[in-house]
Amino acid sequence: MVTNTEHIFKFLDEFATSNKENLYLESIIEACNQWLSGEVMPRLNASVTKEEIRRGIQLAVLKGMKEHAQPNHQMTPDAIGMLIGHFASRLMDKKDQVTLLDPAAGTGNLLFTVMNAMGEKTVATSVEIDELLVRLSAVSSNLLEQPVQFFVQDALRPLMVDPVDLVVCDLPVGFYPDDDNALNFEMMPAEGHAYSHHLFIEQSMNHLKGGGYGIFLVPASLFESDQSSLLHRYVKKNALVRAVIQLPESLFRSTVHEKSILVLQKPEANMKGTPDVLLTKVPTMSDKHAMASFLRKIDEWVDEQ
Ligand code: SAM
């Protein structure tokens, strides 16, 4: 039987490929808008889940991204999004309502994966500088019926966002060109440009409530770069490192592209002592037994917090 995900991808793909005068991604936005207004619809089996809708859109966006390809715009892969979603939902287990921020939301794929993993209890804010990606994620959030507020702006400029319980972010990596603005951050170096990924961590911590968590997809070499002394100093003063999770090499094209998941917590006034840091490595994801035992280890660690 054809799955709902396949039906949705086929519907978006046929719509986009028959509109040759528009960018493929523009046509996906138009197809989603027409779907929302009921003008045209994908053929769907009886009931459709939010994850089926997200995956169907994601497949079409992946195809469209080849045309719109820009370095640093890559959608967060599902395997990583699912892990972050698992972590996020376990860390927020005890809360009835969760406020969530993704300051570099791109297509929204990571954000929606996390929201879908957490059920119906999340209200999110998405910030992204690329206007096309914001329109794409806005139309996706409507189809997914996930409550998200969108900002099209440089996320390192002042953000009109109240402190949140949780930040998730696949950090844009590289130099941040706006030195004047970077001077507002502790991790601006004395010479040269600051690293965007450092400033995104700092901006995220600024927008967390005390006790809130930041879950970041970071370069695996984050703590060993030429500017890492700034990061070490910043983290020591402003955050608690709760977990560093190395991802399998097989997920990345080469060693320089390898990433890890970093979990930071914003300290609260009444917190006592320094909590343990979970240092672990994700096993080969196709190994079901190893993955089940890894997720059990994560769950036990969260339960101890
Ligand atoms: N999680 C996203 C997804 O699933 O599509 C992918 C995020 S991608 C690795 C990083 C994103 O950061 C890109 O979409 C890029 O346009 C955005 N970005 C880069 N610099 C930015 C800035 N200063 N302010 C806001 N967004 C920025």
What's the mean pLDDT when you consider all of the chain?
A: 94
Sheet holding 208-219, edge to edge: 148-152, 122-128, 98-102, 164-170, 208-219, 259-265, 240-246, 278-281
Does ligand 1 have an atom closer than 6 angstroms to the CB of 154?
Answer: yes
Which CATH number applies to 78-304: 3.40.50.970, 3.40.50.150, 1.10.760.10, 3.40.50.720?
Answer: 3.40.50.150
Pocket test for ligand 1, best of 128, 148, 178, 180 (most atoms within 8 A of CB): 128
The whole-angstrom separation of Cα 58 and Cα 204 is 26
Query: Would you say the CB of residue 133 lies under 6 angstroms from ligand 1?
Result: yes
* CA 73 / ligand 1 centre spacing (Å): 6
Question: What Cα–Cα distance (Å) separates residue 117 from each residue in 122, 136, 191?
Answer: 10, 21, 42
What residue segments make up the domains of the chain, in order of their start? Answer: 4-67, 78-304
Mean pLDDT of 23-34: 96
Give strand pairing partners of 201: none
Q: Which residues are CB-neighbours of 176 under 8 A, at least 6 positions away?
A: 156, 182, 193, 194, 195, 196, 199
- How close is the Cα of 152 to the center of ligand 1, in Å? 11
0.85 exceeded by the pTM?
yes
Atom 2 in ligand 1: residue holding the nearest Cα: 106
Whether 67 shows a pLDDT value over 90: the answer reads: no
Q: Is 70 exceeded by the pLDDT of residue 130? A: yes
Ligand 1 centroid – CA 130 distance (Å): 8
- DSSP string for residues in the chain: ---HHHHHHHHHHHHHHH-TTS-HHHHHHHHHHHHHHTSS-----S---HHHHHHHHHHHHHHHHTTS--TT-PPPPHHHHHHHHHHHHHHTTT-SSEEEEETT-TTSHHHHHHHHHTTT-EEEEEEES-HHHHHHHHHHHHHHT--EEEEES-TTS------EEEEEEE---SEE--HHHHTTSTT--SSSPEEHHHHHHHHHHHTEEEEEEEEEEEETTGGGSTTHHHHHHHHHHH-EEEEEEEPPGGGSSSGGG-EEEEEEE---TT--S-PPPEEEE---TT-HHHHHHHHHHHHHHHHH-
CA distance linking residue 75 with residue 113, whole number of Å: 12
Nearest Cα to 69, choosing from 23, 18, 32?
23
Separation of alpha carbons 176 and 224, rounded Å? 19
pLDDT at 71 over 70: no
State whether the beta carbon of 127 lies less than 6 angstroms from ligand 1. yes
> With 90 as the cut, is the pLDDT of residue 193 above it?
yes
**Contact call for residues 128 and 138 (beta carbons, < 8 A):** no
Cα 28 to ligand 1 centre (Å): 19
- The tokens describing 112, both together, are 């929606």
Segment 243-288, tens digit of pLDDT: 999 999 999 988 888 999 999 999 998 877 788 899 999 999 999 9
pLDDT of residue 271: 78
Task: Tell me the percentage of the chain whose pLDDT exceeds 70.
Answer: 98
CB count in 10 Å sphere of residue 127 = 25
Top-confidence residue, 268 or 154: 154
pLDDT tens digits along 30-57: 999 999 999 999 999 889 999 999 999 9
Ligand 1 binding pocket includes 129 (Cβ within 6 Å): yes
Atom of ligand 1 nearest to the CA of 217: 9
- Ligand 1 atom closest to the Cα of residue 102 is 1
Instruction: Report how far residue 143's alpha carbon sits from residue 120's, in angstroms, rounded to the nearest whole number.
Output: 14
1 band by pLDDT with thresholds 50, 70 and 90: confident
Per-residue pLDDT averaged across 232-245, rounded? 96
To test ligand 1's pocket by mutation, which of 62, 72, 109 has the most ligand atoms within 8 angstroms of CB?
A: 72
> Residue 133: which of 105, 91, 113, 161 has the closest Cα?
105
Mean pLDDT of 96-106: 98
CA dist., res. 26 & res. 300, Å (int): 44
- Which two tokens mark 132? 């096309």
Does the pLDDT of residue 68 top 70, yes or no? Answer: no
74 pLDDT band, cuts 50/70/90, is confident
